Amino acid sequence: MHELLWLLLPAAALSGWWIGRRGSRETGRSAGDPPPSEAYLQGLNYLLNEERDKALEVLTRMEEVGSDTAETHLALGSVFRRRGEVDRAIRIHQDLIDRPSLTRDQRTYALLALGEDYMKAGVLDRAEALFQEVVAQDAHVDQALRHLLTIYEHEGEWGQAIETARRLEGLGEGGYRVRIGQLRCEQARQAWAGGDADQARKTLRRALSADPGCARANMLLGDLEREQGRHKAAVKAYEAIGQQDPALLPEALDGLAAAYAGVGRTGRMESFLREMVTRQPDGRLMVRLANEVRQRQGTEAAIRELTLMLRRQPSLGGIRRLVAMTQSVGEPIGPREVQILLDLFEKLEAGRSRYRCRQCGFASWTLFWQCPGCRAWATLRPLDETEGM
């Protein structure tokens, strides 16, 4: 996907220019521009068709015969970059920027391209400076900001990354809510590691206001409050995960148990888990609840509870715990457990795929001779019994 974006970026920009230039010639504003040659259009066509070697050949020939429009050089530069010849791409783009005849938009685009060269070469500080210049020129801002965001994330510059993500969001680009929440979490971890717990707490609150579904923020907040001896606040943060993203709750249960102990309410774990299991019949929650019941009321009670839960929702971890507990009280596996096991196997078997395409990974219950996923013939293979669960 990433590769595809790199590829489409110059081609899209070039075709945009071509249309723009044709339009401006009709209004007579740039009579000095030479019309794009046949060779140039052919080169562009090769580029669009990903025939990079042919494109390179045509464009290089154009350059040799002196038909050196800015477009030719940009196209040539992007072909070199995509072939991994980054130093040649850098030289071409740098030459272009130094030309006084370039229009403002051409120059900004060349700056962007040069930034992408340096980014590919791993020279991130150079790339960063170039993208900042592009943003300052107020053209191709969204592309430059997206690159800057990638660089700031890579360098762990969380403050700058957040600011950049917010600017992108301000440009009307969606999909930054979760990312900003995660970036705030990183920023909070940094503040916490630097000994500033208050700043970390504030930042986590901002993570939650940026993304109310950010379970990681509550996990971190719970850990932070617990470390600060504020167990009541820790309980509140951990418990909130059950509302936000119940599937992630099992990750926070050790912290929650410790926080309950901190406020002297160890019994609360059992009722909280019972409440959560009703909402999210997760195997890990069931096992945890069974362990709590076992501590308080003994193994027999735990086995009873777990059996009831597993009848509603079979889970591999749950059944393993049930068998282990039954063994531990010295009882043989009774008909009750055997029946649960049989039900479980049936459900697991019904839910699994029996065939998978070895070309595209398409999985199915029936055998197709032509894969509905990739339309290839005879690529679906039967799966082993334990595969596809």
Taking the least distance from each CB to Zn ion, the nearer of 319 and 371 is 371
Least separation in angstroms between residue 357's CB and Zn ion is 3
Taking the least distance from each CB to Zn ion, the nearer of 97 and 363 is 363
Kindly give the interhelix angle for 215-227 and 253-262, rounded to the nearest 10 degrees.
40
Taking the least distance from each CB to Zn ion, the nearer of 78 and 379 is 379
CA-CA distances (angstroms) from residue 94 to 52, 140, 295, 326, 384? Answer: 22, 18, 71, 74, 57
Q: 130 - beta bridge partners? A: none
Contact residue for Zn ion among 261, 329, 374, 378 (CB under 5 A): 374
Least separation in angstroms between residue 55's CB and Zn ion is 31
Q: How far apart are CA 321 and CA 338, in angstroms?
A: 14
Site for Zn ion contains 373 (CB under 5 A): yes
Which region among 133-141, 204-212, 221-229, 372-380 touches Zn ion (by CB under 5 A)? 372-380
Taking the least distance from each CB to Zn ion, the nearer of 297 and 370 is 370
User: How far is CA 315 from its chain centroid?
Assistant: 28
Which region among 65-73, 256-264, 274-282, 363-371 touches Zn ion (by CB under 5 A)? 363-371
Least separation in angstroms between residue 368's CB and Zn ion is 9
Taking the least distance from each CB to Zn ion, the nearer of 287 and 357 is 357
Site for Zn ion contains 378 (CB under 5 A): no
Contact residue for Zn ion among 263, 359, 368, 383 (CB under 5 A): 359
Contact residue for Zn ion among 197, 323, 360, 363 (CB under 5 A): 360
Site for Zn ion contains 356 (CB under 5 A): no
Q: CA torsion 158→164→169→175, rounded to 10°?
A: -50
Least separation in angstroms between residue 370's CB and Zn ion is 9
User: How far is CA 124 from its chain centroid?
Assistant: 21
Site for Zn ion contains 371 (CB under 5 A): yes
Q: How far apart are CA 152 and CA 147, in angstroms?
A: 9
β-sheet with 355-357: strand ranges across: 363-364, 355-357, 380-382
DSSP symbol at 384: P
Contact between 156 and 124 under an 8 Å Cβ cutoff? The reply is no
Site for Zn ion contains 355 (CB under 5 A): no
Q: 363 - beta bridge partners? A: 356
Strands 355-357, 363-364: pairing kind: antiparallel
SS (H, E, C) 245-277: CHHHHHHHHHHHHHHHHHCCCCCHHHHHHHHHH
Least separation in angstroms between residue 379's CB and Zn ion is 5
Least separation in angstroms between residue 382's CB and Zn ion is 15
Site for Zn ion contains 353 (CB under 5 A): no
Least separation in angstroms between residue 351's CB and Zn ion is 21
Which region among 52-60, 144-152, 238-246, 366-374 touches Zn ion (by CB under 5 A)? 366-374
Binding site for Zn ion (CB under 5 A): 357, 359-360, 362, 371, 373-374
